Amino acid sequence: MKNSHDECITTSKSKDVSLGELRDRLAEFASVRGWDQFHSPRNLLLALVGEVGELSEIFQWKGEVAKGLPNWTSAEKEHLEEELSDVLLYLVRLADVCGLDLGRAALTKLVKNARKYPVVNSSPSATSN
Ligand SMILES: Nc1ccn([C@H]2C[C@H](O)[C@@H](COP(=O)(O)OP(=O)(O)OP(=O)(O)O)O2)c(=O)n1
């Protein structure tokens, strides 16, 4: 039987999911199970690394994979979605228990990246002097 959260997930398919929503739902998920005690920064980091390993296994031995995964079955794509989600969820939770605003931090880092790697004009006219 679906609970109210399942219903919410079903009905909110078309809207973008925010990091804040994931953070709050993860906090509730842990709280109602009495798992806050286990969600220490170090434990969450180790869980995150474990999930990155599971994600890597999907691509292991496959050779290069075409963008859009044209030859993958729907079951393989679903498996990939699940492992990507586990990585994201542990990352969001880790940032939260560290007291950090991950979305804000990521935007700030994007700005820093843009300063570090400025756009260079690579058109032929710009390089022909
Ligand atoms: N102490 C825990 C255990 C699980 N989870 C959540 C976060 C992940 O999204 C997912 C991970 O669950 P599993 O450890 O069961 O890992 P998998 O879903 O990858 O299962 P399996 O390793 O059997 O493939 O559950 C969590 O928040 N805190």
Residue-wise pLDDT for 68-112, tens only, equals: 999 999 999 999 999 999 999 999 999 999 999 999 999 999 999
**CATH number where 40 lies:** 1.10.287.1080
Residue 108 lies in a domain: yes
What does the pLDDT read at residue 3? 52
Entry pTM: 0.88
Residue nearest to atom 10 of ligand 1 (CA): 86
What does the pLDDT read at residue 54? 98
Range of the structural domain that residue 93 is part of: 18-117
**Any atom of ligand 1 within 6 Å of the Cβ of 94:** no
For the chain, give the number of residues. 129
Strand (E) or helix (H) holding 48: helix 41-59
**Any atom of ligand 1 within 6 Å of the Cβ of 36:** no
Query: What is the CB neighbour count within 10 angstroms for residue 75?
Result: 8
Number of structural domains (the chain) is 1
8 has a pLDDT exceeding 70: no
Residue 127 lies in a domain: no
Predicted ipTM > 0.85: yes
Query: Of the residues 31, 85, 86, 88, which should be mutated to test ligand 1's pocket, given the most ligand atoms within 8 Å of the CB?
Result: 86
Residue 8 lies in a domain: no
Torsion of CA 81, 84, 90, 91, to 10 degrees: -140
Report, in this order, helix, strand and coil percent for the chain, each rounded to 5.
65, 0, 35
11 has a pLDDT exceeding 80: no
Residue 100 lies in a domain: yes
